[in-house]
Amino acid sequence: MATTTPFAYTSLEEIEQIHAELKAGFKTGQTKSIAFRKYQLLQLAYLLQDNAKALEEALTKDLGRPPLESVMMEIGASISELMEAYKNVDKWAAPEKPSRTLNFMFMNPVTYKEPKGVVLIISPFNYPLWLIMSPLAGAIAAGNTVVIKPAEGCPAIAALLTEQLPKYIDPSFIRIVNGSVAETTKLLDLPWGHILYTGSGRVGKIVAAAAVKHLTPVTLELGGKCPVFIDPASDLKLAAKRIVWGKFTNAGQTCVAPDYILVPKEAQEKFVKELKTVYAEFYPETAESPPRPAQNTSKMINQAAWKRVNGLLQASKGTIVCGGEGADEDKKFIPPTILQDVTFEDSLMSEEIFGPVLPIIPVENLDTGIAYVNANDHPLALYVFTQNDALKKKIFSSTLSGSAVANETIIIPGVSGLPFGGVGGSGYGGYHTGKYGFEIFTHLRASIDTPSWIDKLLGVRYPPYTDKNLDF
């Protein structure tokens, strides 16, 4: 099993040096070879496989997370994304010919897929491995050299990756820069082929503003409040199960976690009953009063996050129906908690919760919910639980969100072949998984090669234009 070295931030001088070395690495042309890209993808998959146990332990150390969540949501998900890229990169990277048009077909039109150069990936703390590996799979498949800036909030995982990466990958091609605001600011001063940032909207704006200096293209994977619409005629038991799981995984620190529930007021009690049943099944320890130590839940990332979420909870005027007891600042623990009779004006509706607290808002009807969603930032994901196709269509077509999900919760970013990403306040540019991740880091280079004989047909374009008559 691998051991971790102490976590040290990269010096500002070294950051410039790393950038220069990766630029030189790109210039060697080695990453243009598809075979080389495949080798790197495979090496990264081996890194994860060989270090699976150490990664699992590091994730538990950083996030206080039950190991199974890390295996499912990060280690396994990362290996499958790397392998998907490995299996498909030949196809993705192949030049594409457009469908034939009479006007241009003899000019041999073709789109080449060019790497953008040295690219930067800035990751957040909540899935500190997957949110590195998922964009990295696309960046490597596309033939770039890459700087990764892991989340400083997860020192164990950052230190482990920093130690292991050079054993698997030539440092001329992929490097890690560790640090916080000063180091990221230094990175953002440099020119990049592309920047992919995952994190809060506040920092997203800083990243986008810094990128403008060099006209660097940016992908912003941000957050927001993801609503859940409940049709009272749907399978409420199943809805409760999927929502409780999706919300409380990783202590609610998931960008697509259900943030609040909208349920017609006459159905609130019935739905709460189902939620209570599921809650007692999933979290028997915290369902008891007084609660026993929690076993199946992660912790808040740090004391500041604990204080913020606990503050929102304490200020709420909703009624707690599940959990609520046993929050512990020293252990950064907040029990999974559900509240009913919450209003749109409540503290819990003032910002993205990003913690294990789930408010239920009883509404006159689902139209009230649609109006609320439309009056706020477009959510990253919007959920509806219904077996009624007309209702699903109505909710989807009268709102806009990064993704639109029926009868499921947080797995949408991991569904192969879909372009996951935000819109408006939740960000821009879809990646995860597969080809979309490749495309983010690829320049589509349009090309033609016109034979000389074409002038027999198109000689009319040359001046002088006098006495020429173009009839359409």
The one among 143, 246, 427, 430 contacting ligand NAD by CB under 6 A: 427
Q: Find, among 290, 225, 212, 211, the residue nearest to 257 by Cα.
A: 225
Q: Is 203 in the site for ligand NAD (CB under 6 A)?
A: yes
Cα end-to-end distance, the chain, whole Å = 73
Point out the catalytic residue in the list 69, 163, 221, 352: 221
User: Rounded to whole angstroms, what are the CA distances from 117 to 6, 41, 428, 443?
Assistant: 31, 17, 21, 10
Using DSSP's 3-state secondary structure scheme, residue 196 falls into: strand
- Smaller CB separation from ligand NAD, 248 or 354: 354
Strand order across the 118-122 sheet: 174-176, 145-149, 118-122, 194-198, 218-221, 427-428
Q: Is 114 in the site for ligand NAD (CB under 6 A)?
A: no
Angle CA 348–130–154, to nearest 5: 70
Stretch that binds ligand NAD, among 106-114, 122-130, 321-329, 331-339 (CB under 6 A): 122-130
Strand (E) or helix (H) holding 84 = helix 76-93
Least separation in angstroms between residue 422's CB and ligand NAD is: 6
Least separation in angstroms between residue 212's CB and ligand NAD is: 15
- Phi, psi for 25 (deg, rounded to 5): -60, -40
CA 59 – CA 50 distance, rounded (Å)? 16
The one among 260, 271, 283, 354 contacting ligand NAD by CB under 6 A: 354
Residue 229: count of CB within 10 angstroms of its CB: 25
Q: Is 125 in the site for ligand NAD (CB under 6 A)?
A: yes
Q: Is 185 in the site for ligand NAD (CB under 6 A)?
A: yes
Using DSSP's 3-state secondary structure scheme, residue 371 falls into: helix
Stretch that binds ligand NAD, among 2-10, 101-109, 176-184, 234-242 (CB under 6 A): 176-184
Q: Is 380 in the site for ligand NAD (CB under 6 A)?
A: yes
Q: Is 192 in the site for ligand NAD (CB under 6 A)?
A: no
Least separation in angstroms between residue 193's CB and ligand NAD is: 19
Angle CA 405–373–219, to nearest 5: 65
Q: Is 59 in the site for ligand NAD (CB under 6 A)?
A: no
Token readout for 17 is 């040096």
Point out the catalytic residue in the list 255, 274, 322, 352: 255
Q: Is 180 in the site for ligand NAD (CB under 6 A)?
A: yes
Token readout for 121 is 């990936």
- The verdict on whether 255 is a catalytic residue reads yes
Does residue 241 come out as left (phi exceeding 0), alpha (psi in the -120 to 50 range) or beta? alpha
Q: Is 310 in the site for ligand NAD (CB under 6 A)?
A: no
Q: Is 156 in the site for ligand NAD (CB under 6 A)?
A: no
Residue 423: count of CB within 10 angstroms of its CB: 18
Q: Is 153 in the site for ligand NAD (CB under 6 A)?
A: yes
Q: Is 425 in the site for ligand NAD (CB under 6 A)?
A: no
Q: Is 260 in the site for ligand NAD (CB under 6 A)?
A: no
Least separation in angstroms between residue 369's CB and ligand NAD is: 21
- Smaller CB separation from ligand NAD, 117 or 128: 128
* DSSP-derived secondary structure for 408-461: --TTGGGSTT--B---GGGEE--B-STHHHHHHTEEEEEE----GGGHHHHGGG
Q: Is 162 in the site for ligand NAD (CB under 6 A)?
A: no
The one among 117, 193, 199, 355 contacting ligand NAD by CB under 6 A: 199
Stretch that binds ligand NAD, among 48-56, 112-120, 194-202, 368-376 (CB under 6 A): 194-202
Give me the residue whose beta carbon is nearest to ligand NAD: 223
The one among 163, 352, 377, 439 contacting ligand NAD by CB under 6 A: 352
Q: Is 184 in the site for ligand NAD (CB under 6 A)?
A: yes
CA 55 – CA 150 distance, rounded (Å)? 14
Q: Find, among 215, 197, 193, the residue nearest to 206 by Cα.
A: 197
The one among 149, 194, 241, 392 contacting ligand NAD by CB under 6 A: 149
The one among 8, 20, 94, 181 contacting ligand NAD by CB under 6 A: 181
In sequence order, the 6+-apart residues with CB closer than 8 A to the CB of 142 are 37, 93, 113, 115, 116, 438, 439, 440, 441, 442
Q: How many residues bind ligand NAD (CB under 6 A)?
A: 28
Least separation in angstroms between residue 196's CB and ligand NAD is: 10
Stretch that binds ligand NAD, among 7-15, 158-166, 215-223, 390-398 (CB under 6 A): 215-223
The one among 41, 196, 222, 423 contacting ligand NAD by CB under 6 A: 222
Q: Is 208 in the site for ligand NAD (CB under 6 A)?
A: no
The one among 10, 31, 51, 123 contacting ligand NAD by CB under 6 A: 123
CA 65 – CA 75 distance, rounded (Å)? 13
- Phi, psi for 200 (deg, rounded to 5): -80, 155
Q: At what angle do helices 181-189 and 12-27 cross, to 10 degrees?
A: 40
**Active site amino acids:** 221, 255
Q: Which residues bind ligand NAD (CB under 6 A)?
A: 122-126, 131, 149, 151-153, 180-181, 184-185, 198-200, 203, 206, 221-223, 255, 352, 354, 380, 422, 427
